[in-house]
Amino acid sequence: MQNQVIDFYTSLRQIFVVCDCCGEIFSKLYQKERPTIDWKEKIDKEISRLDVLEEKLNEKIELAREAAREAGRRVADKFVKKIDPIFSPLKLNPNDAKVIFHPVDFIVFNGMNSNSGDITIKNLVLLDKKNRTGEYQKIQRSIDSAVNKLNYEWLTLRVEENGRIIEE
């Protein structure tokens, strides 16, 4: 009787089973030797082949996007150098600058937004657009003296999403 059942399903060439755990459809019923490739196996192989091709295509697209992004970055940097009279002549990246206006116009975290991928801050530059006199100059000399004597303390504060300020 068992041979007759197996012969019946073999003549139909397929039995499809749905896995209770993952819901995958598969057919693996055969006796002694594996039957010829059926339409389900052909579809599964084609889907696998297409998945590999899609992955390769996505990698090529990402490489092309990165190349376009880099080219755009270079073009943008050239335009910025043409119109930037403050930072470019000093070989500073304008994206590294933060405006504070008093006691100096800008503080530049040199290297913070490096296009090379290295985001190590090389130095801090306190930058003023023009020569100051009087009270400004006195404050700036005081800052210069404190930095030269290493008479300062670095404190990092973070503003959380809820607005609370925390010290690191």
pLDDT of residue 95: 85
pLDDT (0 to 100) of residue 73: 84
| pLDDT mean by block of 10 residues, the chain; 168 residues | 68 67 70 68 91 96 94 85 83 86 86 74 83 81 88 89 92
Total count of residues recorded for the chain: 168
Question: What is d(CA 64, CA 78) in angstroms, rounded to the nearest whole number?
Answer: 21
pLDDT at 49 (0 to 100): 95
Distance CA 127, CA 48 (A): 59
Task: Return the domain boundaries, the chain.
Answer: 1-36, 37-83, 84-167
Both ends of the chain: CA-CA distance in Å?
78
pLDDT for residue 58: 96
What pLDDT does 9 receive?
A: 60
Helix (H) or strand (E) holding 123: strand 123-127
